[in-house]
Structure 1
Amino acid sequence: MSHACTPVTLPNDDPVLRVMPMPTDTNIHGDVFGGWIMSQVDIAGAVPAARRANGRVATVAVNALVFRQPVFVGDLLSFYAKIVKTGNTSVTVEVDVYAQRQRLDAEIVKVTEATLTYVATDEARHSRPLPML
Protein backbone atom coordinates (compact mmCIF):
# COMPACT_ATOMS: atom_id res chain seq x y z
CA MET A 1 0.00 0.00 0.00
CA SER A 2 1.50 3.38 -0.95
CA HIS A 3 1.06 6.46 1.19
CA ALA A 4 1.59 10.04 0.06
CA CYS A 5 3.22 10.75 3.41
CA THR A 6 5.65 9.02 5.73
CA PRO A 7 4.01 7.15 8.62
CA VAL A 8 4.21 9.12 11.85
CA THR A 9 3.47 8.50 15.50
CA LEU A 10 1.77 10.83 17.95
CA PRO A 11 4.07 13.00 20.09
CA ASN A 12 4.85 11.74 23.61
CA ASP A 13 3.22 14.81 25.20
CA ASP A 14 -0.45 14.88 26.13
CA PRO A 15 -2.63 16.66 23.55
CA VAL A 16 -4.35 19.83 24.78
CA LEU A 17 -7.44 18.91 22.77
CA ARG A 18 -8.88 15.80 21.13
CA VAL A 19 -11.94 15.93 18.92
CA MET A 20 -13.67 13.94 16.19
CA PRO A 21 -15.25 15.95 13.34
CA MET A 22 -18.86 15.19 12.53
CA PRO A 23 -20.79 15.38 9.22
CA THR A 24 -21.98 18.91 10.09
CA ASP A 25 -18.30 20.04 10.06
CA THR A 26 -17.85 19.35 6.33
CA ASN A 27 -17.80 21.50 3.21
CA ILE A 28 -20.01 20.82 0.17
CA HIS A 29 -17.60 18.09 -1.01
CA GLY A 30 -17.77 16.14 2.25
CA ASP A 31 -14.27 17.06 3.51
CA VAL A 32 -13.90 18.65 6.93
CA PHE A 33 -14.11 22.43 6.49
CA GLY A 34 -10.81 24.28 6.99
CA GLY A 35 -12.55 26.97 9.04
CA TRP A 36 -13.72 24.34 11.52
CA ILE A 37 -10.15 23.07 11.88
CA MET A 38 -8.91 26.66 12.32
CA SER A 39 -11.36 27.25 15.17
CA GLN A 40 -10.19 24.08 16.93
CA VAL A 41 -6.55 25.17 16.42
CA ASP A 42 -7.40 28.53 18.04
CA ILE A 43 -8.99 26.79 21.04
CA ALA A 44 -5.98 24.46 21.41
CA GLY A 45 -3.47 27.31 21.19
CA ALA A 46 -5.35 29.33 23.80
CA VAL A 47 -4.92 26.57 26.40
CA PRO A 48 -1.17 27.06 27.10
CA ALA A 49 -1.46 30.80 26.39
CA ALA A 50 -4.13 31.28 29.07
CA ARG A 51 -2.16 29.10 31.47
CA ARG A 52 0.97 31.23 30.96
CA ALA A 53 -1.05 34.48 31.18
CA ASN A 54 -2.82 33.15 34.29
CA GLY A 55 -6.12 34.34 32.89
CA ARG A 56 -7.89 35.76 29.89
CA VAL A 57 -6.19 35.91 26.48
CA ALA A 58 -7.30 37.11 23.07
CA THR A 59 -6.08 35.87 19.70
CA VAL A 60 -4.27 38.71 17.94
CA ALA A 61 -2.66 36.91 15.00
CA VAL A 62 -2.61 33.68 13.08
CA ASN A 63 1.03 33.95 12.03
CA ALA A 64 0.99 30.76 9.96
CA LEU A 65 -1.49 28.01 9.15
CA VAL A 66 -0.75 25.13 6.79
CA PHE A 67 -3.11 22.30 5.91
CA ARG A 68 -0.85 19.32 5.06
CA GLN A 69 -3.48 16.59 4.56
CA PRO A 70 -7.27 16.48 4.31
CA VAL A 71 -9.33 15.67 7.39
CA PHE A 72 -12.29 13.31 7.18
CA VAL A 73 -15.40 12.73 9.27
CA GLY A 74 -14.50 10.13 11.89
CA ASP A 75 -10.79 11.02 12.10
CA LEU A 76 -9.68 11.42 15.71
CA LEU A 77 -7.80 14.73 15.79
CA SER A 78 -5.15 15.37 18.44
CA PHE A 79 -3.96 18.96 18.97
CA TYR A 80 -0.53 19.52 20.51
CA ALA A 81 0.32 23.07 21.56
CA LYS A 82 3.51 24.57 22.97
CA ILE A 83 4.65 28.08 23.75
CA VAL A 84 7.52 29.14 21.50
CA LYS A 85 7.87 32.81 22.48
CA THR A 86 6.66 35.28 25.08
CA GLY A 87 6.74 39.06 25.06
CA ASN A 88 5.62 41.64 27.60
CA THR A 89 1.92 40.97 26.97
CA SER A 90 1.99 38.31 24.24
CA VAL A 91 2.35 34.54 24.00
CA THR A 92 3.16 32.81 20.69
CA VAL A 93 2.07 29.18 20.43
CA GLU A 94 2.77 26.45 17.87
CA VAL A 95 -0.04 23.96 17.29
CA ASP A 96 0.44 20.62 15.50
CA VAL A 97 -2.60 18.56 14.56
CA TYR A 98 -2.54 14.82 13.90
CA ALA A 99 -5.34 12.66 12.55
CA GLN A 100 -5.79 9.04 13.50
CA ARG A 101 -7.68 7.61 10.57
CA GLN A 102 -10.43 5.35 11.89
CA ARG A 103 -9.74 2.41 9.61
CA LEU A 104 -8.31 -1.06 10.09
CA ASP A 105 -4.72 0.07 9.53
CA ALA A 106 -5.01 2.90 12.12
CA GLU A 107 -2.97 5.34 10.04
CA ILE A 108 -1.67 8.51 11.76
CA VAL A 109 -0.91 11.61 9.70
CA LYS A 110 0.07 15.17 10.55
CA VAL A 111 -2.70 17.27 9.02
CA THR A 112 -2.15 20.86 10.17
CA GLU A 113 0.58 23.12 11.56
CA ALA A 114 -0.08 26.59 12.90
CA THR A 115 1.53 29.43 14.84
CA LEU A 116 -0.73 31.88 16.68
CA THR A 117 -0.13 34.87 18.92
CA TYR A 118 -2.33 35.69 21.91
CA VAL A 119 -2.28 38.74 24.16
CA ALA A 120 -3.06 38.69 27.87
CA THR A 121 -6.06 40.88 28.66
CA ASP A 122 -7.68 42.26 31.78
CA GLU A 123 -11.38 42.28 32.68
CA ALA A 124 -11.89 45.37 30.48
CA ARG A 125 -10.24 43.47 27.62
CA HIS A 126 -7.19 45.74 27.52
CA SER A 127 -3.73 44.20 27.18
CA ARG A 128 -1.85 43.53 30.38
CA PRO A 129 1.67 42.32 31.19
CA LEU A 130 2.24 38.60 31.60
CA PRO A 131 2.81 37.60 35.24
CA MET A 132 6.39 36.88 36.27
CA LEU A 133 7.36 33.19 36.32
Structure 2
Amino acid sequence: MTRDIFDTLPAPERHAVLRVMPMPADANIHGDVFGGWIMSQVDIAGSIPAARRAGGRVATVAVNAFTFKHPVFVGDLLSFYADIVRTGRTSITISVEVYAERQRLTVEVVKVTEATLTYVATDEQRRSRPLPPI
Protein backbone atom coordinates (compact mmCIF):
# COMPACT_ATOMS: atom_id res chain seq x y z
CA MET A 1 0.00 0.00 0.00
CA THR A 2 1.52 3.32 -1.09
CA ARG A 3 0.71 6.50 0.83
CA ASP A 4 1.43 10.12 0.12
CA ILE A 5 2.89 11.68 3.28
CA PHE A 6 0.08 14.27 3.30
CA ASP A 7 -2.73 11.83 2.52
CA THR A 8 -3.23 9.56 5.51
CA LEU A 9 -5.88 6.90 5.18
CA PRO A 10 -9.14 7.18 7.12
CA ALA A 11 -9.39 5.27 10.37
CA PRO A 12 -10.47 1.64 9.86
CA GLU A 13 -13.62 2.14 11.96
CA ARG A 14 -14.74 4.93 9.64
CA HIS A 15 -17.31 3.83 7.07
CA ALA A 16 -17.56 5.10 3.53
CA VAL A 17 -20.96 6.64 2.73
CA LEU A 18 -20.49 5.73 -0.93
CA ARG A 19 -18.28 3.36 -2.90
CA VAL A 20 -18.22 3.33 -6.68
CA MET A 21 -16.01 2.26 -9.56
CA PRO A 22 -15.85 4.59 -12.57
CA MET A 23 -16.48 2.96 -15.93
CA PRO A 24 -15.20 3.85 -19.42
CA ALA A 25 -18.23 6.09 -20.09
CA ASP A 26 -17.10 8.25 -17.11
CA ALA A 27 -13.70 8.98 -18.65
CA ASN A 28 -11.93 10.47 -21.62
CA ILE A 29 -10.27 8.34 -24.30
CA HIS A 30 -7.14 7.97 -22.15
CA GLY A 31 -9.02 6.47 -19.19
CA ASP A 32 -8.83 9.61 -17.01
CA VAL A 33 -12.13 10.09 -15.17
CA PHE A 34 -13.90 13.41 -15.77
CA GLY A 35 -13.69 15.89 -12.90
CA GLY A 36 -17.40 16.65 -13.32
CA TRP A 37 -18.27 12.99 -12.76
CA ILE A 38 -16.22 12.99 -9.55
CA MET A 39 -17.93 16.22 -8.45
CA SER A 40 -21.38 14.69 -8.92
CA GLN A 41 -20.40 11.65 -6.84
CA VAL A 42 -19.01 13.95 -4.11
CA ASP A 43 -22.35 15.82 -4.09
CA ILE A 44 -24.24 12.54 -3.70
CA ALA A 45 -21.91 11.41 -0.89
CA GLY A 46 -22.24 14.75 0.92
CA SER A 47 -26.01 14.70 0.67
CA ILE A 48 -26.27 11.44 2.61
CA PRO A 49 -25.25 12.74 6.07
CA ALA A 50 -26.88 16.10 5.27
CA ALA A 51 -30.26 14.46 4.59
CA ARG A 52 -29.92 12.30 7.71
CA ARG A 53 -29.24 15.36 9.87
CA ALA A 54 -32.01 17.36 8.17
CA GLY A 55 -34.46 14.51 8.56
CA GLY A 56 -35.47 14.76 4.91
CA ARG A 57 -34.92 16.70 1.73
CA VAL A 58 -31.82 18.85 1.23
CA ALA A 59 -30.50 20.97 -1.63
CA THR A 60 -26.89 21.80 -2.42
CA VAL A 61 -26.40 25.56 -2.06
CA ALA A 62 -22.61 25.91 -2.22
CA VAL A 63 -19.44 24.14 -3.11
CA ASN A 64 -17.15 25.95 -0.67
CA ALA A 65 -13.94 24.15 -1.66
CA PHE A 66 -12.97 21.41 -4.07
CA THR A 67 -9.45 20.08 -4.60
CA PHE A 68 -8.35 17.38 -6.99
CA LYS A 69 -5.17 15.94 -5.50
CA HIS A 70 -4.50 12.99 -7.81
CA PRO A 71 -6.08 11.69 -11.03
CA VAL A 72 -8.76 9.02 -10.97
CA PHE A 73 -8.69 6.20 -13.52
CA VAL A 74 -11.24 3.77 -14.92
CA GLY A 75 -11.24 0.74 -12.61
CA ASP A 76 -10.24 2.59 -9.42
CA LEU A 77 -12.48 1.73 -6.48
CA LEU A 78 -13.48 5.07 -4.95
CA SER A 79 -14.52 5.39 -1.31
CA PHE A 80 -16.26 8.59 -0.19
CA TYR A 81 -16.12 9.65 3.47
CA ALA A 82 -18.45 12.47 4.53
CA ASP A 83 -18.71 14.26 7.87
CA ILE A 84 -20.76 17.14 9.18
CA VAL A 85 -18.43 20.01 10.05
CA ARG A 86 -20.98 22.73 10.88
CA THR A 87 -24.70 23.32 11.11
CA GLY A 88 -26.69 26.53 11.03
CA ARG A 89 -30.38 27.22 11.42
CA THR A 90 -31.23 25.66 8.04
CA SER A 91 -27.82 24.68 6.65
CA ILE A 92 -25.39 21.79 7.01
CA THR A 93 -21.76 21.99 5.89
CA ILE A 94 -20.16 18.68 4.95
CA SER A 95 -16.54 17.69 4.40
CA VAL A 96 -16.00 14.91 1.85
CA GLU A 97 -12.77 12.98 1.30
CA VAL A 98 -12.32 10.57 -1.59
CA TYR A 99 -9.80 7.72 -1.67
CA ALA A 100 -8.96 5.60 -4.71
CA GLU A 101 -7.92 2.00 -4.37
CA ARG A 102 -5.87 1.20 -7.42
CA GLN A 103 -5.57 -2.49 -8.22
CA ARG A 104 -2.60 -2.70 -10.53
CA LEU A 105 0.32 -5.05 -9.82
CA THR A 106 0.10 -3.99 -6.17
CA VAL A 107 -2.73 -2.33 -4.27
CA GLU A 108 -2.23 1.40 -3.85
CA VAL A 109 -4.58 3.71 -1.91
CA VAL A 110 -4.41 7.46 -2.47
CA LYS A 111 -6.51 10.41 -1.41
CA VAL A 112 -7.70 11.83 -4.72
CA THR A 113 -10.18 14.55 -3.80
CA GLU A 114 -11.38 16.62 -0.87
CA ALA A 115 -14.28 19.03 -0.82
CA THR A 116 -16.54 21.07 1.43
CA LEU A 117 -20.17 21.56 0.45
CA THR A 118 -23.14 23.30 2.07
CA TYR A 119 -26.68 21.94 1.91
CA VAL A 120 -29.91 23.53 3.10
CA ALA A 121 -32.89 21.62 4.50
CA THR A 122 -35.99 22.14 2.36
CA ASP A 123 -39.70 21.45 2.71
CA GLU A 124 -42.14 19.92 0.20
CA GLN A 125 -42.32 23.24 -1.68
CA ARG A 126 -38.49 23.27 -1.82
CA ARG A 127 -38.23 26.29 0.50
CA SER A 128 -35.65 26.34 3.28
CA ARG A 129 -36.76 25.04 6.66
CA PRO A 130 -35.12 24.90 10.10
CA LEU A 131 -33.14 21.80 11.01
CA PRO A 132 -34.90 19.58 13.53
CA PRO A 133 -33.40 19.46 17.04
CA ILE A 134 -30.85 16.72 17.66
TM-score by length of 2: 0.92
Equivalent position of 1:11 in the other structure: 11
> Is 1:70 equivalent to 2:92 in the alignment?
no
Tell me the percent identity: 72
Runs of 4+ in 1 over 2 A off after TM superposition: 3-12, 27-30
Q: Which residue is equivalent to 1:102?
A: 103
For residues 8 and 104 of structure 2, what CA distance do their matches in structure 1 show? 16
Cα deviation 1:35-68 (Å, max 9, x = unaligned): 0000000000000000000000000000000000
Distance in 1, Cα, partners of 2:60 & 2:111: 23
User: What letter corresponds to residue 9 of structure 2 in structure 1?
Assistant: T
Q: What is aligned with 1:129? A: 130
Which residue is 1:36 aligned to? 37
TM-score by length of 1: 0.93
Q: Is the 8 A contact 1:10 1:108 kept in 2?
A: no
Deviation at 1:102, TM superposition (A): 1.3
The one-letter code of the counterpart of 1:32 is V
SS of the residue corresponding to residue 58 of structure 1 reads: strand
* Cα root mean square deviation, aligned: 1.5
Any gaps of 5 or more consecutive residues in structure 2?
none
Query: How much does 1:9 deviate?
Result: 3.3
* Equivalent in the alignment of 1:50: 51
SS at match of 1:118: strand
- For residue 28 of structure 1, report the CA deviation from its aligned partner: 4.3
Asked whether the 8 Å contact 2:3–2:110 carries over to 1, the reply is no
Contact 1:8 1:108 in 2 (8 A): no
Displacement of 1:11 in angstroms is 3.1
Give the gaps of 5 or more residues in structure 1: none
Distance 2:99 2:43 in 1: 15
